[in-house]
Amino acid sequence: MPNVEHNEKLLLQQLIDGDEKAFLAILKKYKTDVYAYSLSILKVEVYAEEIVQDVFLKIWEKREGVNLSQSFHAYVMVITKNMSLTFLKRALRDEKMKEQIFYQSQNAYSSIERKLREKELDQIYSKALDLLPPRRRQIFEMSREEGKSHKIISEELGISENTIKSQMNKALETIRTFIIEHGDISLSLLILALERAG
């Protein structure tokens, strides 16, 4: 093990110095892990392959900032997760990409696994709701849990419909962001949550 760690540090130092052969060696060593981790989040092979390219491009561009005293594997996985989640947020605004990811997610899990993960999602969803200020949460729950229109909520609470709409948008953004950033969950459940909230 010490020899393996020593050899990797030498390789990383060569990377920092701009050695392209060292970069290719590192890419060969880590690309499978990067691909697998990204695929577990995005569910679509072609998107995971894009993330692999983006991750290693960033590693090359930021090579001088590599910290030899820290785990390089952990460093690569953090970059992979962040890039995958950023891609996911972007995909949620594109109907074609969202449908493709959702379809792949539906095929990836059995009904039993899906039920278990739905329970996990419910816990994450509840935690997201807990982040909302009391008034905003009240408005959100009146809309989503009780099925009331903005007009009815406006009349019952004595505030304008524009305020209701603004508070709902802020609540949805908080919930979406929290769900994406907390927990490696099935994207099918993520989409389920966003559809429930949207």
Q: What is the pLDDT of residue 106?
A: 56
Asked if 145 and 84 count as a contact pair (C-beta separation under 8 A), the reply is: no
C-alpha separations of 178 from 43, 56, 171 in Å: 20, 27, 11
Picking from 54, 49, 57, 64, the residue whose alpha carbon sits closest to that of residue 12 is 64
Picking from 118, 135, 119, the residue whose alpha carbon sits closest to that of residue 171 is 135
Q: Which two tokens stand for residue 66?
A: 């590599």
Residue scoring higher pLDDT (185 or 25): 25
pLDDT by residue (tens digit) across 62-120? 999 999 888 899 999 999 999 988 888 777 777 777 666 666 665 554 454 555 556 66
pLDDT by residue (tens digit) across 8-17? 889 999 999 9
Q: What is the pLDDT of residue 193?
A: 44
Asked if 80 and 51 count as a contact pair (C-beta separation under 8 A), the reply is: yes
pLDDT by residue (tens digit) across 70-84? 889 999 999 999 998
Q: What is the pLDDT of residue 117?
A: 59
pLDDT at 19 over 90: yes
Residue with tokens 């990836």: 108
Asked if 38 and 48 count as a contact pair (C-beta separation under 8 A), the reply is: yes
- In order of their start, the domains of the chain are 2-91 (1.10.1740.10), 110-197 (1.10.10.10)
Q: What is the pLDDT of residue 189?
A: 47
Among left, alpha and beta (phi > 0; psi -120 to 50; other), residue 18 is left
Q: What is the pLDDT of residue 32?
A: 92
Share the mean pLDDT of the chain: 79
Q: What is the pLDDT of residue 112?
A: 46
3 C-beta neighbours (distance < 10 Å), count? 7
Residue with tokens 């110095």: 17
